[in-house]
Amino acid sequence: MEAQILQRRLTEIEVKLNISELKSQQEILKSQSIDPNLWQDQTKAGQIMQDLSDINKTLTQLDQFKLDINNLVELTQLLVAEPDDSLQKELDKNLNKIDNDLNQLENQTYLSGQYDKNHAIFSIHSGQGGTEAMDWASILQRMYLRFFDKKGWKYEMLDMVMGDEAGIKSVSFKVLAPYAYGYLCREGGVHRLVRLSPFNADQLRQTSFAKVEVSPVISGQEEMAAIRPEDVEFTAYRSGGSGGQNVNKVSTAVRITHKATGLVFSCQSQRSQEQNRIVAMEMLASKLWALEQEKRASEQKDIKGANIIAGWGHQIRSYVLHPYKMVKDLRTRFETSLTDAVLDGDLDGFISAELRLL
């Protein structure tokens, strides 16, 4: 990998990201951010500040890439004139690092959907397989949280239902990172695990399923206005888990039921009932949007339907731990035998392959 090649790649990425447009948006958002009336609508204000932060981060990252690559070009020229094994090793190390970092930034150029830049509601549900499936759901939770941590993404747990004997029945997170939905949306689907059962005295091979659901965080007034108040039923209850001031002493947790669809969402992560209600409504709006997209796709025969069963014949990815080790995505055909690394959150290869499949 040569530094000049990295320069050309960076230029191509800047063209795809439309830097002039980003800078124009940055100026508009800066102007809006200093409006003294901005925080009268906290939802709108929060979105403006988040958008500005995301653009600032991207532009700063591009500037740093340019500086680092220019330094490597100079070092390359120096080594041509005066070879040095120690400096050459350092150069190669830095070239590989920037190459990997550019790959991540390049993925962002594939994300141009309406909500790709949004935060995400990320849920895991155990499927067919009883206790085995609930344990598998908890393993998936650990895998994705490790992935979020490696990315430096912030997230908060919104709700969790524990398994009867082990694992979890379901868990939902709000992933607070730029382009979280764009990167994660294709992780949605059924994930299949094949392993020797730790819950069976005979150590028989067991197949388990869990379903991942991903939808964008939708909090705009227009989207929320589409949900009729009379269609939503609210129930307050006491939060579970560790205490803290009045969190477990009063009914701060909220459960909402959308009467038209039967969808139910709970949130107990916030410190007040009103905050939990707002987050639960975000979850509902996100899910309703996702169902509408699935309906349209189903009508176009792009997918089999909106209600995918977490069981045989519907998986998007298989994690085989016995009799051999292999994780394989059935859509992209991307696979690896490094199962421990994958279950420890190394998902970049799968996500990159998904983005390039479009």
CATH number of 267's domain: 3.30.70.1660
Q: Supply the pLDDT for residue 31.
A: 94
Which domain-ending residue is among 108, 137, 157? 108
pLDDT above 80 for 220: no
**Residue 124 — pLDDT band, cuts 50, 70, 90?**
very high
Residue 316 domain flag = no
Say whether both 157 and 236 belong to one domain: yes
Residue 314 domain flag = no
Which domain-ending residue is among 86, 108, 130? 108
Mean pLDDT of 73-84: 90
pLDDT above 70 for 267: yes
Q: Which residues contact 303 (CB under 8 A, 6 or more apart)?
A: 294, 297
Say whether both 249 and 195 belong to one domain: yes
CATH number of the domain within which 33 lies: 1.20.58.410
Higher pLDDT, 49 or 307: 49
Based on the structure, what is the number of domains in the chain? 2
Say whether both 208 and 346 belong to one domain: yes
C-beta of residue 95 within 8 angstroms of C-beta of residue 1 = yes
Residue 36 domain flag = yes
Share of the chain above pLDDT 70, in %: 88
pTM beyond cutoff 0.85: no
Lowest mean pLDDT among 72-81, 139-148, 306-315: 306-315
Say whether both 121 and 81 belong to one domain: no
pLDDT above 90 for 187: yes
Residue 328 domain flag = no
Which pLDDT tens digit goes with each residue over 286-324?
A: 888 888 887 776 665 443 334 445 545 579 999 999 999
Share of the chain above pLDDT 90, in %: 51
pLDDT above 70 for 279: yes
C-beta of residue 261 within 8 angstroms of C-beta of residue 288 = yes
Residue 151 domain flag = yes
Q: Supply the pLDDT for residue 7.
A: 92
C-beta of residue 216 within 8 angstroms of C-beta of residue 240 = no
Report the candidate in 168, 206, 1, 191 with the shortest Cα–Cα distance to residue 91: 1
Say whether both 103 and 128 belong to one domain: no
Report the candidate in 58, 60, 169 with the shortest Cα–Cα distance to residue 107: 58
Cα–Cα distances in angstroms (integers) from residue 39 to residues 32, 42, 178, in the given order: 11, 5, 22
Report the run of H or E that residue 107 belongs to, with start and end: helix 85-108
Rounded Cα gap, residues 135 and 127, in angstroms: 10
pLDDT above 50 for 3: yes
Q: Supply the pLDDT for residue 150.
A: 94
pLDDT above 80 for 276: yes
Say whether both 100 and 146 belong to one domain: no
Say whether both 68 and 121 belong to one domain: no
Higher pLDDT, 4 or 143: 143
**Residue 246 — pLDDT band, cuts 50, 70, 90?**
very low
Say whether both 83 and 135 belong to one domain: no
Tell me phi and psi for residue 347, to 5 degrees. Answer: -115, 5
Mean pLDDT of 129-157: 95
Say whether both 62 and 138 belong to one domain: no
Residue 52 domain flag = yes
Residue 333 domain flag = no
pLDDT above 50 for 2: yes
Say whether both 13 and 159 belong to one domain: no
Q: Supply the pLDDT for residue 310.
A: 53
Residue 249 domain flag = yes
Say whether both 62 and 130 belong to one domain: no
Q: Supply the pLDDT for residue 247.
A: 38
**Residue 225 — pLDDT band, cuts 50, 70, 90?**
low
Rounded Cα gap, residues 256 and 287, in angstroms: 13
Lowest mean pLDDT among 148-152, 234-238, 280-284, 340-344: 234-238
C-beta of residue 327 within 8 angstroms of C-beta of residue 342 = yes
Say whether both 243 and 351 belong to one domain: yes
Rounded Cα gap, residues 223 and 130, in angstroms: 37
Range of the domain at 301: 117-306+338-358
Q: What is the CA radius of gyration of the chain?
A: 23
Place of tokens 């190390």: 93
Mean pLDDT of 39-54: 83
**Residue 219 — pLDDT band, cuts 50, 70, 90?**
low
Which domain-ending residue is among 51, 78, 108? 108
Residue 139, number of CB atoms within 10 A of its CB? 19
